[in-house]
Amino acid sequence: MAEHPSDKRKYLYVLGVEQPLKFFNSRRSLSSVLSGHAFLQRRFLDKFGEQYHRVRDYYLPRKHLVAIEDVSQFVRGLM
């Protein structure tokens, strides 16, 4: 979503922001995250090469591009 070349505001709607932020700020290996998705892994490597090794390395310079919105107050039955 962060890479999409749109001028529109981008939102990621979640039920609670704690888990997504924990993941995005994690030191988990990007190769591990992408390992089950060969096509996406290849595209990522074609675009960025070996520039990013950890999830947070990729996330931190882009965190301002996508607003993470907690919608749990609107869908209480799902919590």
Question: Does the pLDDT value for residue 76 go beyond 80?
Answer: no
pLDDT score for 73: 84
Question: Does the pLDDT value for residue 77 go beyond 80?
Answer: no
pLDDT score for 79: 57
Residue extents of the structural domains in the chain:
10-78
Pairing relationship of beta strands 66-70 and 10-14 according to DSSP bridges:
parallel
**Exposed e or buried b per residue across 34-53, where buried means at least 16 C-beta atoms within 10 angstroms of its C-beta:** beeeeeeeeebeeeeeeebe
C-alpha span between 13 and 57 (Å, rounded): 22
Mean per-residue pLDDT for 15-34? 96
pLDDT score for 78: 63
Q: What is the pTM of this model?
A: 0.83
pLDDT tens digits along 29-74: 999 999 999 999 999 999 999 999 999 999 999 999 999 999 988 8
